[in-house]
Structure 1
């Protein structure tokens, strides 16, 4: 199977690329900076393209069977359009080439809800604060992306991770339609669950929450890690 990965040079995108190659798929890694992409493989094509560049996106997905998007940008208070603009361009190119299967990464915060595992701090303090301040423009554009995906005639799946953390490898994870009780998702598990959608039709035209079941940090460990992070 030939899989195109947008956002391939991000943390999740690199993991997804490695996992897809390990599963013996042919992979097209799409990135704005191909010289910085650290993975090489005989079944890998690294393609330079910006999702705002329709002809470049069209060339990147030509011949693909599945398109997976891990597009992402840092939080900012400025308006963001990369998610919505990106899916518009990708969906248009997919229509041109007759490609149907699309899975995109969004966030559980696009639809804020009570997390059974979150407690007071997560549910009443952190989630409302994040979605109303530094994450406001990000989640607004993710919601628009989700609306555009849902309105398409593609065989789409929207993946909604919760708080992302790094792990040594893929662990046990759960997939729940729309929402989940858990508050953490490892990037490795997110990549694995996204790759799963390339061959599994269980969640076609559905939104899926991804929750990691083992090795996740506590909320306080995550806060401490972020507080002491450098660079």
Structure 2
């Protein structure tokens, strides 16, 4: 299958690209910094493009069989439009070129719920602060992105991971329609779940929670590792 991955140079995008190549797909990895992309393969095309450039997006989508978006931007106080504008360009290009299959990464923070294992600190303090204050503009734009995807006529799937962290290999992750009661998702599992959608039409036009249920990090260790990774 011929796949385009947007956000390919992010942590999940790199894993997804590597898994897709290992599975035998032809991959176009779209990144604003192609020289920094670490993977090389005879079935890999690394394209320097900005998802906010509709002409570049159009070229990256043409003649492909599926599009996978792992776009990610850091939270901030300023308005964020990367998710909604970028996916609007992707949807328009896919519609124009009659490419049907789309999967996008969103977040469980778009529709936050208390977690059964979260405890008071996580559910009543940290979760509201992250989703309503620190990440408000980010999650607002993810909601706009999701609305655009759902309004399209494509064969779409929206994946909502929880707190992302690193594991060396894919686990027996869990997919749940709607809200998944788990605080963490390994990036390698998120990538694997996206790739698996290409061979499974059960989740077309569905929003899925994806969680990792083994080797979850302790909350403080997760906060420290993620802060270090984003610094």
CA distance in 2 between partners of 1:132 and 1:183 (Å): 17
CA distance in 1 between partners of 2:230 and 2:144 (Å): 32
CA distance in 2 between partners of 1:227 and 1:58 (Å): 35
CA distance in 1 between partners of 2:171 and 2:177 (Å): 20
Q: Which residue of 2 aligns with 1:215?
A: 215
Q: Which residue of 2 aligns with 1:18?
A: 18
Matches within 5 A, 1:30-179: 30-179=30-179
Report the secondary structure of 2:193's partner residue: helix
Q: 1:230 to 1:72 in 2, by over 3 A?
A: closer
Report the secondary structure of 1:198's partner residue: helix
With 174-183 and 193-202 compared, the bigger mean Cα shift is at 193-202
Cα RMSD of the aligned pairs, angstroms, is 1.4
Ranges in structure 2 where 5+ consecutive residues have no aligned partner: none
For the Cα contact (< 8 Å) 2:165–2:226, is it kept in 1? no
CA distance in 1 between partners of 2:42 and 2:153 (Å): 33
TM-fit CA distance, 1:61: 1.1
Q: 1:223 to 1:46 in 2, by over 3 A?
A: closer
For the Cα contact (< 8 Å) 2:9–2:31, is it kept in 1? yes
Report the secondary structure of 1:50's partner residue: coil
For the Cα contact (< 8 Å) 2:51–2:89, is it kept in 1? yes
With 193-202 and 180-189 compared, the bigger mean Cα shift is at 193-202
State the TM-score, normalizing by the size of structure 1: 0.96
CA distance in 2 between partners of 1:128 and 1:207 (Å): 22
CA distance in 2 between partners of 1:7 and 1:229 (Å): 17
Q: Which has the higher helix share?
A: 2
1:193 aligns with 2:193: yes
CA distance in 1 between partners of 2:112 and 2:230 (Å): 29
Measured against aligned partners, the alpha-carbon deviations of 1:163-185 in whole angstroms (never above 9, x if no partner) come to 00011111121000010111000
Ranges in structure 1 where 5+ consecutive residues have no aligned partner: none
State the TM-score, normalizing by the size of structure 2: 0.96
TM-fit CA distance, 1:229: 6.7
CA distance in 1 between partners of 2:204 and 2:189 (Å): 19
